[in-house]
Amino acid sequence: MIKNISMKKISRIIIAFTLTVGLIFAMAPEATYAASISKKSVSQVGKLIKVAKSKRGCRYSAGSRGPNRFDCTGFVYYCMRKSGIKIRKGRLAPYKSSKYNVGRSIKKAKKGDILLYYRGGRIGHAAIYIGGGKVIHATTRGVRITRWNGFGQRLAAVIRVYSPAKKKVTASKPKVTAVKTTQAPVTTTPVATTVAPPSTTEQTPPVTETQGTDTSPAP
């Protein structure tokens, strides 16, 4: 009896621990998501999902873009435009080869992303990711919320068209270091002046020898 009770307690502890760890890992992506996009985008994504959910039950119609009938592309375009997120008109397939493609794994998906799916080897369907592994999209049964992989089509790309958060760049101020200048003392060396004594040697004036001139008359 004691052994049975102990085993039951151990089983309950293991189950509780498993559920707690699973909840932590489930909440972590949402916290990372909130920190990875700008405040403006958080507002836009919230509005996007609200607009999309307000259209649940609307009928499917090929080529329609709302407000009450949609095809898959028209539904994505309508919801994005109504929430203030810029998106090009026309087909969504070109986004697959654009800078907005963040990967082809559902692990990359965040709320507000567009999921593109293959149909017959080419892009043939689009949906809006709303978190928790679910999407909202215009199917042939109308606008519905389903699992991201609950309709048998292979994921082609995860597209993110809203603005990510800008990293704050803090400009570092240059440090100004005061340089002390030490002036060397000026040393003046006295210059000795030597006065030569007057010369005591008498100078003898030069003697000029004068030759005599013969004044006798010529013969």
Give the residue ranges of DSSP H helices in 2-60.
2-36, 39-54
- Domain positions in the chain are 38-159
Distances (CA, A) of 174 to 167, 171, 177, 178: 21, 9, 9, 13
Better-predicted residue by pLDDT, 63 or 27: 63
Q: pTM score, two decimals? A: 0.60
- Rg, the chain, Cα only: 50
At the topology level, CATH places domain 38-159 in endopeptidase fold (from Nostoc punctiforme) (3.90.1720)
pLDDT of residue 168: 52
pLDDT of residue 122: 93
pLDDT band at 196 (very low <50, low <70, confident <90, very high): low
- Under a CB-based contact definition with an 8 Å cutoff, are residues 136 and 143 in contact? yes
* Residue 162 pLDDT exceeds 90: no
pLDDT digits (tens, 9 = 90+) for 73-99: 999 999 999 999 988 877 899 999 999
